[in-house]
Chain A
Amino acid sequence: MGAPMSEHSTYTPGTGIEKWLDERLPIIRFSKEHLMDFPTPKNLNYWWTFGAILAIMLVVQIVTGVILAMHYTPNVAMAFDSVEHIKRDVNGGRIIQAVHSVGASMFFAAVYVHIFRGMYFGSYKAPREILWILGVLIFVLMMATAFMGYVLPWGQMSFWAATVITNIFGAIPVLGNPILELLRGGFSVGNPTLNRFFSLHYLLPFVIAAVVVLHIWALHVPGNNNPIGVDVKSSRDTVPFHPYYTMKDLYGVVLFAIPFAWFVFFAPDILGHPDNYVMANSQVTPAHIVPEWYFLPFYAILRAIDFNILFINSQLGGVIFFGGSIVILFFLPWLDTSKVRSGTFRPMFKWFYWLFVINFLALAYLGAAPAEGVYVILAKICTAYYFAHFIIVLPVLSRIEKPRPLPASISESVLGKAHA
């Protein structure tokens, strides 16, 4: 591992033009090194194809989004109708709009798999801390982008999502109110809010694309982690990215496209809420307001704090835990200090990992449940466990756990000792 990036290439410019170009802007050499010849561990499983799936999803969202923006009107009087106009009148608009809105859900589904894969196989550990941090940053940007996109159709759920989420910033002491007015461009969510959200919703995907470039750059310095978490030791442990992983990734993309297409063609609204087919009304809040499914675990944490903590009131407390549940991910590389990367060789970590997954799913369920009775208590327990996993379980496991012996190399794990 750790070989400088330029050593992998077998590129020799064939024609005079290629040679001329190579001396001025070696873009072909760069592409060949990073998209074709890049040495990739030969044991990557299908969980690793989600990186490529996510790259494709970003492109799908940007392309469909640019087309939608050609027909959308960011004005409170016309936004709702313009989305209906896209669905009914614009050529192919029904499908383009469905791809974009379902695409947001599929994007998050893929990013959750990608994140949880990284957590199981210890992909955040040295020397990939910055790679991980950039990934969390992309996740945060995705959440901001998805939220602002959800506001644009200007239905009831759009409006109240905008109200609730901007109010989160209002909980910040002293600066809360000025920030709130700055975000909304007024005293309440209204036309200025819709305009700036549209502007930012168009901008942020390109910021995401830029951070994705850094994410891939940070990936290509140490190279991929792999399911056994053992470093690449020789060229026998790797295969070139193309055609081995371009094909495997493409196959993953095709499989991923099947449920995606099913939603788009047969159930484009099943992941949304009927209330969003009612135009925004600032005087009535829908009876059951829940965010999109991909925000549910964090939403459950936000509302689990309904008590004052010392001098911190319940509103600010909820916001601190909500923010903290994401910020803590940035620190994961330093909370789990076990030298063994892959969960496969960590007998205790493995169980706690799955407990964390179940707890996360429980939080998602509780985020959608009404805030009453036993749900309130369960949400508090699950919130406490979410943080305990990072602050208590991982640091303690790193100290007391005895990992199983690691294979000597990737080749040995794939082929058995005799061939290695």
Chain B
Amino acid sequence: MNPDASTLALASIEFDLSAIEEGQSVTILWRGLPVFVRHRTQKEIDEAKAVPMSDLKDPATDEERTKPGHEQWLIMIANCTHLGCVPVGESGEYDGWFCPCHGSVYDTAGRIRKGPAPKNLVLPPYDFISDTLVQIG
């Protein structure tokens, strides 16, 4: 009953970021999983950086959540770490994501702030090939 060959044959994907405006976010599909790609505003980045580590359930700095030089881009697997629903963007009391299933709240760096989810939204393995092209997986 383990995943068959066709399921496992999921290569990495390349994604062009140039069409995404500041403040916009898109959801793309990788390995059948939804992935958020968010072009953050300066306000959101500042907000994320200002959070003291002691406030976090799963401590991670904003730098650890993004790639150096590309801090405006937040790329995360869009499944809530509680039970896998897709959180709703730009909502919840930390201006990040709110999961409608069981009420987990994430901040503008996708870090868990409140609710039953144990961890921050998961970052997929990815690299910037150029300023506008990213390879996921």
Interface of A toward B, CB cutoff 8 Å: 160, 163-168, 170, 181-182, 185-188, 190, 192, 196, 282-289, 302-303, 305-306, 308, 313-316, 318, 370-372, 376
Interchain residue pairs with CB less than 8 A apart (27): A164-B84, A170-B84, A181-B2, A185-B1, A185-B4, A185-B7, A187-B10, A187-B31, A190-B7, A192-B3, A282-B29, A282-B32, A283-B27, A283-B29, A285-B85, A285-B86, A285-B87, A285-B100, A289-B101, A303-B116, A305-B116, A306-B102, A306-B115, A306-B116, A314-B82, A370-B103, A371-B102
Interface of B toward A, CB cutoff 8 Å: 1-4, 7, 10, 27, 29, 31-34, 57, 78-79, 81-88, 99-103, 115-119
A289 pairs with B3, CB closer than 8 A: no
B4 pairs with A164, CB closer than 8 A: no
Residue of B78, B99, B101 contacting most chain A CB atoms (<10 Å):
B101
Contacts of A168 in B (CB 8 A): 83
* A164 (CB) vs chain B CBs: closest residue: B83
Extra inter-chain contacts (14) besides given A185-B2, A283-B27, CB under 8 Å: A163-B85, A170-B84, A181-B2, A182-B1, A283-B29, A283-B86, A285-B87, A289-B100, A303-B116, A305-B116, A306-B115, A315-B83, A315-B116, A370-B103
> How far is B83's CA from A165's CA once the two chains are assembled, in angstroms?
7
CB distance from A282 to the nearest CB of B (A): 6
Contacts of A160 in B (CB 8 A): 85, 101
A287 pairs with B3, CB closer than 8 A: no
> How far is B44's CA from A341's CA once the two chains are assembled, in angstroms?
63
Which of B31, B86, B101, B118 contacts A314 (CB under 8 A)? Answer: B118
Do A187 and B34 form a contact, CB below 8 Å, given A164-B85, A370-B103? Answer: no
> How far is B35's CA from A187's CA once the two chains are assembled, in angstroms?
13
Contacts of A167 in B (CB 8 A): 82-84
Contacts of B99 in A (CB 8 A): 285
* B35 (CB) vs chain A CBs: closest residue: A283
Contacts of B34 in A (CB 8 A): 282-283
> How far is B102's CA from A370's CA once the two chains are assembled, in angstroms?
8
A318 pairs with B103, CB closer than 8 A: no
* B86 (CB) vs chain A CBs: closest residue: A285
- Between A and B, how many residue pairs show CB distances below 8 Å? 102
B102 pairs with A303, CB closer than 8 A: yes
A163 pairs with B84, CB closer than 8 A: yes
Do A284 and B2 form a contact, CB below 8 Å, given A192-B7, A289-B100? Answer: no
Contacts of A186 in B (CB 8 A): 3, 7, 32
Contacts of B83 in A (CB 8 A): 163-165, 167-168, 315
Residue of A160, A186, A284, A308 contacting most chain B CB atoms (<10 Å):
A186
A185 pairs with B3, CB closer than 8 A: yes
Contacts of B81 in A (CB 8 A): 315
Do A315 and B32 form a contact, CB below 8 Å, given A160-B101, A187-B10, A192-B3? Answer: no
CB distance from B10 to the nearest CB of A (A): 7
A376 pairs with B85, CB closer than 8 A: no
Residue of B81, B87, B102 contacting most chain A CB atoms (<10 Å):
B102
> How far is B79's CA from A181's CA once the two chains are assembled, in angstroms?
15
A188 pairs with B82, CB closer than 8 A: no
CB distance from A175 to the nearest CB of B (A): 13
CB distance from B99 to the nearest CB of A (A): 8
Contacts of B1 in A (CB 8 A): 182, 185, 196
Contacts of B10 in A (CB 8 A): 187
> How far is B117's CA from A187's CA once the two chains are assembled, in angstroms?
19
A188 pairs with B100, CB closer than 8 A: no
* A376 (CB) vs chain B CBs: closest residue: B103
> How far is B29's CA from A334's CA once the two chains are assembled, in angstroms?
51
Which of B32, B82, B103, B118 contacts A372 (CB under 8 A)? Answer: B103
CB distance from A363 to the nearest CB of B (A): 15
Do A192 and B103 form a contact, CB below 8 Å, given A167-B83, A187-B32, A282-B34? Answer: no
Contacts of A288 in B (CB 8 A): 100
Contacts of B115 in A (CB 8 A): 306, 371
> How far is B87's CA from A305's CA once the two chains are assembled, in angstroms?
19
> How far is B100's CA from A283's CA once the two chains are assembled, in angstroms?
14
> How far is B32's CA from A282's CA once the two chains are assembled, in angstroms?
8
CB distance from B125 to the nearest CB of A (A): 13
Residue of A308, A315, A318, A376 contacting most chain B CB atoms (<10 Å):
A315
A308 pairs with B31, CB closer than 8 A: no
